[in-house]
């Protein structure tokens, strides 16, 4: 139960898979990252022409990864429902016609959606290079991204035997007691999957014993890479706006103080800054936004920490 003053929110089941699908569409950045964009469900075909329609596709421009998205409810059969769907989607994703379709849809989204175009621009991807960047991403193996309302043993066992990387994020629904129209959605912090079969991503050494998203600022403090009271810096210039500079102070509990408020994660702290500057962005990667006095990002410090953790 969640409680706000006298208002109580009770954890509730999703009404349907379609409800979960729409929640994912409306909030995809909280799962696939602030540098991602989302393509809606589109028919793709296997080599023999059998059609399949994933719930969507997410492309992460920052990490150069892409996802086949299949929103699921945990009461659906893994073997009779989820596995056949995902298997057909993986086969269809290998077809050149699928890659060309998603490439064309991405270019169209870049040209027609200013919010998506801004993400390309923030990563210094020039318009002339958009198609090639997307094409290169689509040449990599897709990640099977499954937003779900819970993880069962069967889906865990299946995911860990699949050749392709599988990431599952649990999304929870809370409904106000005696007021079913007032709903709260709970998403994982910092896009942290509940289940992730990926051994190592492009930005971390295979020798790392833990994943990047398992590290928080307390780890950097305890590892001597940050100090309590240390000042961090971030600059941000919104489109057609002025450059703004922000400072964050590292607090004893591992949170950051920005603009007089405390934030539990670097990303929320960075988001407070860029929205103060006039941006309408809903998410931002605070690990790459904040820098110390030596101009090193928190992501750099995190990598140093990960390299220092002994393998089990």
Q: Kindly state the average pLDDT of the residues 27-39.
A: 96
Q: What is residue 178's predicted lDDT score, i.e. its pLDDT?
A: 93
How many C-beta neighbours within 10 Å does residue 104 have?
Answer: 12
130 by DSSP, 3-state: which? helix
Q: Could you give the angle at the alpha carbon of 34 between the alpha carbons of 97 and 89, nearest 5°? A: 30
Q: Is the pLDDT of residue 280 over 90?
A: no
Domain ranges of the chain: 2-196, 214-306
Percentage of residues in the chain having pLDDT higher than 70:
95
pLDDT at residue 159 above 60? yes
Query: Among residues 143, 203, 191, which one has the least CA distance to residue 167?
Result: 143
Sheet holding 261-263, edge to edge: 231-236, 244-250, 256-258, 261-263
The reply to whether the predicted model has a pTM over 0.75 is: yes
Question: What token pair was written down for 9?
Answer: 């929110």
> Residues near 296 by Cβ (< 8 Å), separated by ≥ 6?
none
Nearest to 283 by CA among 126, 168, 41, 115: 115
pLDDT given at position 203: 42
Helices (H) and strands (E) in the chain, counts: 11, 16
Which tokens go with 55? 């719930």
pLDDT at 312: 52
Q: What is the DSSP letter of 54?
A: -
Residue 204's pLDDT is 45
CA distance 119 to 139: 21
**Predicted pLDDT at 241:** 82
What pLDDT, on the 0 to 100 scale, is given for residue 199? 57
The average pLDDT across 227-254 equals: 93
> Per this entry, what is the length of the chain?
312
Decide if pLDDT at 240 tops 90: no
| Residue 27: band (very low, low, confident or very high) from pLDDT cuts 50, 70, 90 | very high
Q: Is the pLDDT of residue 86 over 50?
A: yes
Specify the residue for token string 């922000």. Answer: 246
Look at residue 83 and tell me whether its pLDDT is greater than 60: yes
The mean pLDDT value of the chain amounts to 92
- Residue-wise pLDDT for 165-198, tens only, equals 999 999 999 999 999 999 999 999 888 999 999 8
Cβ atoms of 71 and 55 closer than 8 Å: yes
Q: Which residue has the tokens 């992501």?
A: 299
- In the 8-state DSSP scheme, what is residue 139? T
Cβ contact 304:224 at 8 Å: no
Q: Kindly tell me if the per-residue pLDDT of 69 is higher than 90.
A: yes
Point out which residues pair with 270 in neighbouring strands.
none
User: What integer is the mean pLDDT of 66-75?
Assistant: 95
Residue pair 167/198 in contact by the 8 Å Cβ criterion = yes
Supply the pLDDT for residue 205: 47
Which tens digit of pLDDT belongs to each residue from 189-232?
Answer: 888 999 999 854 444 444 555 667 888 999 999 999 999 999 99
Specify the residue for token string 């799962």.
31
Burial class (CB in 10 A: 0-12, 13-18, 19+), 97: exposed
Of the candidates 30, 23, 26, 6, which has an alpha carbon nearest to the alpha carbon of residue 188? Answer: 30
Residue 230 buriedness (CB in 10 A; 0-12 / 13-18 / 19+)? middle
Query: In the predicted model, what is the mean pLDDT of residues 134-153?
Result: 96
Calculate mean pLDDT across residues 36-61. Answer: 95
Q: Is 95 exposed, middle or buried (0-12, 13-18, 19+ CB in 10 A)?
A: middle
Question: What integer pLDDT is reported at residue 237 of this predicted model?
Answer: 87
């Amino acid at each position: 139960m969640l409680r706000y003053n006298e208002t109580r929110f009770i954890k509730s089941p999703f009404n349907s898979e379609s409800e979960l699908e729409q929640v994912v569409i409306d909030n995809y950045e909280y799962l696939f990252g602030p540098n991602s964009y989302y393509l809606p469900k589109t028919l793709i075909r296997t080599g023999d022409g059998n059609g399949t329609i994933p719930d969507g596709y997410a492309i992460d421009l920052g990490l150069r990864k892409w996802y086949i998205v299949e929103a699921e409810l945990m009461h659906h059969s893994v073997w009779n429902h989820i596995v056949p769907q995902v298997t057909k989607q993986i086969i269809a994703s290998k077809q050149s016609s699928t890659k060309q379709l998603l490439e064309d849809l991405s270019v169209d989204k870049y040209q027609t959606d200013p919010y998506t175009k801004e993400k390309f621009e923030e990563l210094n991807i020039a318009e002339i290079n958009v198609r090639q960047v997307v094409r290169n991403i689509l040449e990599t193996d897709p990640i099977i991204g499954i937003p779900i309302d819970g993880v069962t043993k069967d889906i865990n066992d299946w995911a860990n035997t699949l050749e392709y990387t599988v990431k599952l994020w649990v999304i929870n629904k809370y409904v106000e007691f005696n007021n079913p129209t007032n709903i709260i959605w709970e998403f994982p912090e910092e896009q942290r999957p509940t289940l992730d079969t990926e051994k190592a991503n492009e930005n971390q050494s295979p020798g790392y014993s833990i994943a990047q998203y398992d590290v928080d600022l307390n780890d950097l403090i305890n590892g001597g890479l940050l100090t309590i009271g240390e000042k961090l810096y971030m600059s941000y210039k919104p489109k057609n706006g002025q450059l703004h500079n922000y400072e964050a102070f590292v607090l004893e509990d591992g949170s950051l103080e920005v603009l007089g408020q405390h934030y539990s994660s670097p990303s929320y702290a960075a988001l407070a800054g860029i929205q103060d500057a006039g941006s309408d962005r809903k998410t931002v990667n605070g690990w790459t936004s904040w820098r110390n006095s030596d101009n090193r990002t928190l992501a750099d410090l995190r990598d140093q920490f990960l390299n220092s953790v002994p393998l089990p």
